[in-house]
Amino acid sequence: MNDNHNEIPKKTELDDAELSRYSRQILLPEVDYAGQLKLAQSHAVIFGLGGLGSPAALYLASAGIGKLTLIDFDTVDDSNLQRQIVHRENNIGQSKVASAKANLQALNQYIQIETIAEKLDDQATLKQIQSASVVLDCTDNFNSRFQLNQCCFEAKKPLISGAAIRWEGQLSTYDFRTDTTPCYQCLYPKSSNQSETCAQNGVLSPIVGIIGSMQATEAIKALLNLPTLTGKLMILDGYTMMIRTLNLKKDSACTLCGNKSNPYSI
């Protein structure tokens, strides 16, 4: 089931109510009025409305991103509520995108929300990404991450990728608007065999909250052309509360971004 809307006319100014709502953000010199207007004109596509997508969606909605597209084929169950904070007890049994949309609209009436409650193939994924200003990978499996990395590379869109398990989280931004950015496959080649999930290994609730909130921060910075984690990998150990940031270089042998005759082209 898809809940699609016609594009709203691009905003040319913020009204008094919006100026009041976003006043603390507008005070930041890196944002200012022009930046807040840019956010209102932007479109973020979020894949996955679980532990990462929940805080990311809440903060992007509250920050005034003009349009959110929410994509998830799953439904809400009671085990989600420990960490998937966009959902409520009365949403159990609903599709995650419908639940998230209702709660996000209750938070901010000024934004447009589109929902897609189905699993998308490569072509449909690429079509959604082509209309985006920024893409957030809040999924929980490598197949989806490889798919989003490939489609964002093809569409030249910035991809904010987060992951969390147990006490650990990681975050990076792959800004495909520039040719020098590494991609997700530079970090994890498709031949790598990593399939751990939260369902199998568990995760501490605030860890996904931290990483999802950081994804929202990176998305806002990418939209405003501010410095991001492009070319870097941030690793969080929530047990020791240590954060490391590693340099991530483009792999010339990468079968996606390192080869001009890309065999994976969609």
The enclosing domain of 61 has a CATH number of 3.40.50.720
If you average pLDDT over residues 114-121, what whole number do you get?
96
Domain contains 262: no
Domain contains 128: yes
Residue 262 has pLDDT above 80, yes or no: no
Q: Mean pLDDT of all residues in the chain?
A: 92
Domain contains 266: no
Percent of the chain with pLDDT over 70: 91
The least confident of 155-169, 176-190, 196-210 is 196-210
If you average pLDDT over residues 229-257, what whole number do you get?
95
Note the pLDDT of residue 2.
Answer: 58
Taken as a whole, the chain contains a residue count of: 266
Domain contains 258: no
If you average pLDDT over residues 85-101, what whole number do you get?
96
Note the pLDDT of residue 257.
Answer: 92
Domain contains 201: yes
Residue 193 has pLDDT above 70, yes or no: no
Those residues whose C-beta lies under 8 Å from the C-beta of residue 159, and which sit 6 or more positions away, are 135, 136, 137, 148, 149, 152, 173, 174, 175, 176, 184
Q: Structural domain tally of the chain?
A: 1
201 falls in which pLDDT band (50, 70, 90)?
A: confident
Range of the domain at 29: 2-247
For the full predicted model, state whether its pTM sits above 0.75. Answer: yes
Domain contains 8: yes
Domain contains 18: yes
The least confident of 3-7, 16-20, 22-26, 135-139 is 3-7
Domain contains 265: no
265 falls in which pLDDT band (50, 70, 90)?
A: very low
The least confident of 73-87, 95-109, 246-260 is 246-260
Other Cβ atoms less than 10 A from the Cβ of 216: the count is 25
